Structure 1
Amino acid sequence: MKSSDIVITGVGMVSSIGVGREAFTQSLLGGVSGVRRYDEQACSASEDIVLQYRCEDGEPVLVQETAVVAGLVDFDAKQFVTPRKALKVMSREIQTAYAASQLAVLDAGLQPYLPAQAAAVEQRIKHSQSEPAEQRPGYTEHGKIYSDRIGTVFGSELLYGPPLELSEAYADSVNAEGEFDASEFGNSAMRHITPLWLLKYLPNMPACHYSIVLNAHGPNNSITVGDASGAAALIEACGYLHREIADFLIVSASGTRLNATRASFTEDQPLATVVDPISRTSRPHAIDADGLVRGEGAGGLVLERADTAAARGAKPIARVIGFASRFIGSPAFMSGDRTSDIRPDAGRGSTHAIIAAIRGALDAAEMQAEDIGAVVGHAAGDPVLDACERAALEDVVPDAAVVLPASLLGHTGAASGMMGLLAACVMLQTGKIPPVPHAEACVADGSSNSHPLNVSDQIRDLVKRVVLVISHTSPGHATAVILAG
């Protein structure tokens, strides 16, 4: 099977710029930003958002840089999750991943075939491609999908609970001298934390919950490689289709950077200084960019073979024609010196990994750089990581138009790569290249060997209907996926 035989037939979006394909598309093409002041967020924003304060005249004062976020506004998990009691064991990321997956399944028109039904292998009805779709391999005689022919691959990362959930256990571990005694914390936690607490924060639980809903007994996997998790999940799913161990794959990824516990343990990127207007605070590749804006969201895709989609009358949104995943450790990763410093030699990211991934995807698609109609960049405003991406683009695809979803969505963690894939799907469906609102700030840095990015604050036509989507991480993992219309 060729990579081009794999198609995307459904997409689902849960983001700060809209829930569902229509809302997401309108905002993306309209350059509508989801970046707002925290106090302007609707009640759906995470209650555990990380904010920082400084002391002035003995009173706490909110640090403005952390009060600007790209949180969800019109999202209510109760509209998507069934049974609702399952919400008790779902963290924020599990809820959004479930919703995005459900939207993707509906968008693909798979709902009539679900939930999947089990059947013994010897009971399978094997028919030629000329016969009705409901009698094709992968479907039962009742027009349902065989349960072992549908699977899930989700991009995830470490999931963190709010600090208050552990506050009683922590307080109970303080000794008579007022000092925290770590040796007592285990017993204290057993007394104060609900037995089901852990189920809310296992990285594989998003895929678990949705597999149960589908009655999916096919491949089930969770990929945890940071910001590149979504694209890596798609690559994994393509492998299952190539090996013909499944006919349908639900691929999803979710993430949030609005969590106080996460920020306390894993913060190695700087936060953006607020600008006027606030909606322009997330400024990837801007010459004055100094950090990222915390965001959250989730995205989902339905992958299947082109012949299966044709048999059930589904029109593909995009074809997957090439991909590659590479890891070349960044200097900071190799030395163990993680820092949020924005000095050029801070060592985050790997230009070599990004270049290798792009070239690998081009080779897999049997394409040249000039065949690419647009590139969906991963940059989120960290000047160190953005510089790695710029150098890679200049090296391999210097003239392609560049789109930067993070300028509207902020940094969405493990959902970042998936958001890029969704943006590419929008471009291929509409034939339009979304604007970059702060394009005037994305100029060359003035050095003799610098090359300006091909960005614009206006909508442009996607003349060559081939889109390259890149994602990469601070430690040095990079993916590249090429989609075509």
Structure 2
Amino acid sequence: MHQPLTPTGRPVGVTRATQRRVVVTGMGAITPLGVGVPALWQGLLEGRSGVRPLEGEEFAGQPVRIGGTVTADPGELLPKAQARRMNRAAQFAVIAAREAWRDAGLDASGTVGSGVDPSRTGVCVGTIIGGAPVLVDGDRRLRDKGPRGVSPLTAAMTVPSQAAAQISIDLHVTGEARTVVSACASGTEAIGQAIDRIRHGHVDIVLAGGAEAAITPSVMAAFSAMRALSTRNDEPERASRPFAKDRDGFVHGEGAGLLVLEAEEHALARGARIYCEAAGWGLSADAHHIVAPDPSGDGIVLALRRALADAGAVPADVVHVNAHATATVEGDLAEATALRRLLDERGAGAPSVPVTAVKGNLGHLQGATGAVEAVVAALTLHHGLVPPTIGCDDLDDACELDVVTHVPRFLPPAGGVVLSNSFGFGGHNAVLALRRDRSGRATEGRAV
């Protein structure tokens, strides 16, 4: 039987006072800026771009021939026998999960060797397309070579849940392995769902985030047909321009980001380093259009308010926003409108809230985007430093936000909430609220 819920979504008998606090104790990533969180963070602080020309004759006739690609071969970073049974997104996910697990101070061999109860540990991964490129390749092989040409691994490698399953197998996580598919909000929603699973006592630790690898000719052609992509083939590193007056669409990207989320008492009991608190999250739906955002920003505002309420915070507590900001004309404006409405409630004398957007560096990582941006938001809190937004040389006057550009900016030394936004086709809105650890200090972490 399912446990009955209160109108706010908490199990009956669980209140804010009794539910467990959730903290971030480990992070992993593989992105167009490189393999690992240090490569991601350093690239952002230096204002570098991982957007590059797409090689190969299959892209030669495309109207858009640039993307945020991972240059390392993930198949070379895993044992070959293991890698050949995974789609590319799952390979990314396992690589990021291993890094996050090690970063959390846990044994790389998995839960069995870490003194962690496998049955109290979970996985929750967001994705949009999952292994669909494998299915496309299988269809091509069927046409070219007949049924015998189709690999017996095709079906298992196609399902969107493969990334979560492969992490579970790799780290011997037996508590649960969940998959979230909600367009470009998938990674953020996966993290939010993991927060609730820990809060309410179902598990103690969850590897949560997102993975995507779908830079294929058919996907590129589809986005191009929608006129959703930037067409700046001649300047790939400057193609993605979040909040800029001359933005002309997003840049398709790939990668993965994973967080180790943990009940605070569990983390303290094993002496874990804590990056920050995963304080709350919020969801909403625009109910407006299958691809276009609601220009009023109403749905986004609702998700923002719910994330703050879930964290026990108010707009005055917000010290930074990691924006979704895909560099589409309508999307950036809807988000800016919503953020202004929320932040204006802080009053005329309140300091401005610095906003950053990392899709200028990475492109849009689809189901992984919210997860990687959650990693960045956690690092921003941990180090007290906001990475600059690249590509926004001329801010759109209609956006009216304090967008950090050119050089990093320091955050206030204590307190405050950081919001990380993700919005997707169909009106899926998800917002994550992070906060410094209980003492307000930045605890010691890796040197990045």
CA contact (8 A) 1:4 1:320 kept: no
Distance 1:412 1:349 in 2: 23
Write the deviation string for residues 342-395 of structure 1: whole angstroms up to 9, x where unpaired.
Answer: xxxx66787222110001111122222221111001111111222211111111
Write the deviation string for residues 179-237 of structure 1: whole angstroms up to 9, x where unpaired.
Answer: xxxxxxxxx5x443122211111100111111112222102210011111111111111
**Partner residue in 1 for 2:140:** 167
Distance 1:264 1:91 in 2: 21
Match of 1:28 among 8, 25, 44: 44
The one-letter code of the counterpart of 2:139 is: L
The one-letter code of the counterpart of 2:40 is: F
**Partner residue in 2 for 1:247:** 204
Distance 2:208 2:410 in 1: 28
Match of 2:422 among 456, 465, 471: 471
**In structure 2, do the counterparts of structure 1 residues 476 and 350 end up closer, same or farther at CA, with 3 Å as the change threshold?**
farther
**Partner residue in 1 for 2:444:** none
**Partner residue in 2 for 1:90:** 86
**Partner residue in 2 for 1:343:** none
Based on CA coordinates, which of the two structures has the bigger radius of gyration?
1
Distance 1:192 1:440 in 2: 50
TM (norm. structure 1) is 0.78
Offset of 1:78 from its aligned partner?
Answer: 2.9
Write the deviation string for residues 271-290 of structure 1: whole angstroms up to 9, x where unpaired.
Answer: 11317753111111111111
Write the deviation string for residues 423-442 of structure 1: whole angstroms up to 9, x where unpaired.
Answer: 10110121111111233322
Give unmatched runs, 5+ long, in structure 2: 1-14, 345-351, 437-448
Match of 2:382 among 429, 445, 462: 429
CA contact (8 A) 1:77 1:99 kept: no
- Aligned pairs for 1:318-337 (under 5 A) are 318-330=276-288, 332-333=289-290
- Aligned pairs for 1:303-342 (under 5 A) are 303-330=261-288, 332-333=289-290
The one-letter code of the counterpart of 1:278 is: P
**Partner residue in 1 for 2:8:** none
Offset of 1:52 from its aligned partner?
Answer: 5.3
Offset of 1:451 from its aligned partner?
Answer: 2.6
Distance 2:233 2:144 in 1: 40
Offset of 1:454 from its aligned partner?
Answer: 3.4
Quick check: 93-102 or 251-260, which moved more? 251-260
Distance 2:172 2:285 in 1: 35
Offset of 1:115 from its aligned partner?
Answer: 3.2
CA contact (8 A) 2:190 2:208 kept: yes
Match of 2:171 among 214, 235, 257: 214
Match of 1:108 among 101, 104, 107: 104
**In structure 2, do the counterparts of structure 1 residues 347 and 309 end up closer, same or farther at CA, with 3 Å as the change threshold?**
closer
Distance 1:312 1:92 in 2: 34
**Partner residue in 2 for 1:73:** 71
**Partner residue in 2 for 1:359:** 305
**Partner residue in 1 for 2:149:** 192
Write the deviation string for residues 29-58 of structure 1: whole angstroms up to 9, x where unpaired.
Answer: 11111112235xxxxxxx7x96252xxxxx
CA contact (8 A) 2:133 2:214 kept: no
The one-letter code of the counterpart of 1:372 is: V
Quick check: 209-218 or 435-444, which moved more? 435-444
Offset of 1:321 from its aligned partner?
Answer: 1.3
**In structure 2, do the counterparts of structure 1 residues 230 and 350 end up closer, same or farther at CA, with 3 Å as the change threshold?**
farther
Moved over 6 A (4+): none
**In structure 2, do the counterparts of structure 1 residues 11 and 260 end up closer, same or farther at CA, with 3 Å as the change threshold?**
same
**Partner residue in 1 for 2:362:** 409
The one-letter code of the counterpart of 1:352 is: D
Secondary structure at the residue paired with 1:25? Answer: helix
Match of 2:128 among 152, 157, 161: 157
TM (norm. structure 2) is 0.84
Secondary structure at the residue paired with 1:213? Answer: helix
**Partner residue in 1 for 2:333:** 387
The one-letter code of the counterpart of 2:143 is: Y
CA contact (8 A) 1:269 1:292 kept: no
Matched, 1:373 2:369: no
The one-letter code of the counterpart of 2:31 is: S
The one-letter code of the counterpart of 2:254 is: E
RMSD: 2.5
Offset of 1:164 from its aligned partner?
Answer: 4.7
**Partner residue in 2 for 1:289:** 247
CA contact (8 A) 2:223 2:229 kept: no
CA contact (8 A) 2:27 2:259 kept: yes
Distance 2:245 2:262 in 1: 41
Q: Percent identity?
A: 26
Give unmatched runs, 5+ long, in structure 1: 40-46, 54-61, 118-141, 173-187, 339-345
Number of residue-to-residue matches in the alignment: 408
The one-letter code of the counterpart of 1:87 is: A
Distance 1:452 1:444 in 2: 9
Matched, 1:14 2:30: yes
**Partner residue in 1 for 2:59:** 51
